[in-house]
């Protein structure tokens, strides 16, 4: 239990978390309850090193605390860093705890910090030609208008961030009812995902609910399109990895996910080489169960497929680069719009419906053992 983990989990200021930890240690020790607690402290101060007065910040175990304090010429701060039951051999568990908790809270990682920076606002988008009237958006939103990109006429957005679509699906499941153009298949998918996702979604409340919904839907559509024609076992596998992924890593809807996801969808639409890729993607997903790599693999395979020749030595880099190049202008740009987004979303979904039908055909074909591209 590190102070940062406590701060995020309880939603308190980091200083309060540190004090809470200290208080807990003191009380437990006074009780003499017998359970041995090992505490690590953070010590900071001035130290003479190599002829320079160096400011040293160190995490030390309790037994080394006094030694470190005496080494420092002036003590700047000392506080409890973490408490654990077992004696730590090295600091990697501390790092891992912090890494995980920060990763699941990336959007507001400075919320409980002691310093607030007024300048850290999201970039305001330049004027986007496809979005008529800017709708009010929360400050944390960023470029939900990449919705426009999904319609296929925009260049795909930036390189997909490491989020899993399932994380978005989790968000989507939580905010299922809000979006107006819900189609039945989405609600179905949502229901499927809901039990798995509820845990994930509860962990990460977001403000951009509507955009998330749209985005989530887009992702859902894609995944649904894959999962529906698949056999039940495959569907289950799709859900399972998503559940597995979403829970440990439940990302809140980072806005970056959206453009990335849309990039994927857009790419899908643009390239028109869906099922083989999807199939390959699915199998990759199921094989690897590695959330981080799925997106990358999807992207790579997509690019491999996008070359008509079956050459595999198409390096992924040129294609994303050229895709990236046009995308940064629209991507970091735009504010949300509710109405245009929804209309665009619905058209996107229509396209995806079409795609889905195609895919089912393809799946059947492939299940018959035919490896050629059809339809």
Partner 1 sequence: MFSEQAAPTAQGLLAPPSAKAPTFPRVPVSGYLDCSQPFQLGERSFSWQYAHIYAVRLAGMRPGLERCARRRWGNDIALRKLSELQAGEKCCVVGTLFKAMQLQPSILQEISEEHNLVPQPPLPKYIQPSDKLILEDELQRIKLEGAIDVQRLVTGTILAVYGSEQDDGRFLVEDHCFADLPPPLPWNGPSSNRFVLLASGLGLGSVSGEALLSTQLLVDVVTGQLGAEGEQSCAAHITRVILAGNLLSQNTQSRDTINKAKYLTKKTQAASVEAVKMLDEILLQLCTSVPVDVMPGEFDPTNYTLPQQPLHRCMLPLASAYATLRLVTNPYQANLDGVRFLGTSGQNISDIFKYSSMDDYLEILEWTLLAGHISPTAPDTLGCYPFYKSDPFILTECPHVYFCGNAPHFQSKLLQGKEGQRVLLVTVPDFSATQTACLVNLHDLTCQPITFSGFGADSE
Using the minimum distance from each CB to partner 1, give the nearer residue, 19 or 180: 19
Using the minimum distance from each CB to partner 1, give the nearer residue, 80 or 189: 80
Using the minimum distance from each CB to partner 1, give the nearer residue, 111 or 354: 111
Helix (H) or strand (E) holding 362: helix 339-367
Provide the minimum distance between the beta carbon of 176 and partner 1 in the complex, in angstroms, as a whole number: 26
Provide the minimum distance between the beta carbon of 147 and partner 1 in the complex, in angstroms, as a whole number: 16
Phi, psi of 117 (to 5 degrees): -110, 120
At 211, is the secondary structure helix, strand, or coil?
helix
How far, in Å, CA of 47 to CA of 282, rounded?
A: 55
Provide the minimum distance between the beta carbon of 315 and partner 1 in the complex, in angstroms, as a whole number: 10
Using the minimum distance from each CB to partner 1, give the nearer residue, 38 or 353: 38
Provide the minimum distance between the beta carbon of 284 and partner 1 in the complex, in angstroms, as a whole number: 8
Provide the minimum distance between the beta carbon of 340 and partner 1 in the complex, in angstroms, as a whole number: 21
Both structure tokens of 159: 């390189």
Q: Which residues of 38-53 are buried (b: 16+ CB within 10 A; e: fewer)?
A: ebbbbbbbebeeeeee
Provide the minimum distance between the beta carbon of 346 and partner 1 in the complex, in angstroms, as a whole number: 26
Both structure tokens of 237: 């596998």
Phi, psi of 49 (to 5 degrees): -145, 125
Q: List, in order, residues 6 or more apart from 259 with CB less than 8 Å away.
A: 143, 146, 149, 157, 158, 327, 331
Residue with tokens 């039940």: 232
Whether 237 contacts 144, CB under 8 Å = no
Helix (H) or strand (E) holding 57: strand 52-61
Using the minimum distance from each CB to partner 1, give the nearer residue, 17 or 189: 17
In 3D space, the residue among 100, 99, 366 whose CA is nearest the CA of residue 231 turns out to be 366
Length of the chain: 375
Using the minimum distance from each CB to partner 1, give the nearer residue, 161 or 241: 161
Provide the minimum distance between the beta carbon of 131 and partner 1 in the complex, in angstroms, as a whole number: 18
Provide the minimum distance between the beta carbon of 307 and partner 1 in the complex, in angstroms, as a whole number: 14
How far, in Å, CA of 93 to CA of 102, rounded?
A: 14
Using the minimum distance from each CB to partner 1, give the nearer residue, 144 or 216: 144
Both structure tokens of 153: 């006429």
Using the minimum distance from each CB to partner 1, give the nearer residue, 14 or 194: 14
């Amino acid at each position: 239990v590190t102070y940062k983990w406590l701060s995020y989990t309880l939603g308190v200021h980091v200083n309060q978390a540190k004090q809470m930890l200290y208080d807990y240690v003191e009380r437990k020790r006074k009780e003499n309850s017998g359970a041995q607690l090992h505490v690590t402290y953070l010590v900071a101060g001035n130290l003479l090193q190599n002829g320079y007065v160096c400011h040293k910040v160190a995490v030390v175990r309790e037994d080394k605390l006094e030694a470190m304090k005496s080494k420092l010429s002036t003590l700047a701060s000392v506080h409890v860093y973490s408490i654990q039951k077992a004696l730590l051999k090295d600091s990697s568990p501390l790092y891992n705890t912090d890494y995980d908790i920060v990763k699941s809270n990336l959007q507001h990682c400075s919320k409980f910090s002691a310093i607030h920076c007024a300048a850290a606002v999201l970039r305001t988008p330049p004027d986007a030609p496809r979005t008529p009237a800017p709708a009010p958006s929360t400050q944390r939103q960023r470029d939900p208008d990449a919705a426009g990109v999904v319609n296929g006429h925009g260049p795909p957005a930036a390189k997909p961030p490491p989020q899993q679509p399932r994380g978005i699906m989790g968000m989507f499941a939580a905010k299922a009812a809000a979006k107006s153009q819900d189609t039945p298949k989405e609600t179905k998918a949502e229901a499927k995902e809901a039990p798995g996702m509820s845990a994930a979604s509860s962990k990460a409340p977001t403000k951009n609910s509507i955009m998330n919904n749209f985005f989530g839907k887009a992702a859902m559509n894609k995944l649904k399109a894959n999962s529906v024609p698949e056999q039940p076992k495959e569907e289950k596998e799709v859900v399972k990895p998503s559940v597995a992924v979403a829970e440990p890593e439940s990302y809140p809807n980072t806005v970056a996910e959206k453009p990335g996801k849309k990039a994927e969808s857009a790419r899908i639409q643009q390239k028109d080489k869906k099922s083989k890729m999807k199939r390959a993607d699915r199998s990759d997903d199921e094989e690897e169960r590695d959330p981080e790599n799925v997106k990358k693999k999807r992207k790579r395979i997509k690019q491999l497929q996008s070359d008509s020749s079956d050459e595999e030595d198409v390096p992924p880099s040129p294609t994303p680069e050229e895709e990236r190049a046009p995308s940064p202008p629209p991507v970091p740009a735009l504010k949300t719009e509710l109405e245009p987004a929804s209309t665009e979303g619905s058209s996107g979904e229509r396209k995806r419906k079409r795609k889905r039908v195609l895919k089912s055909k393809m799946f059947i074909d492939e299940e018959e053992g035919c490896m050629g591209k059809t339809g």
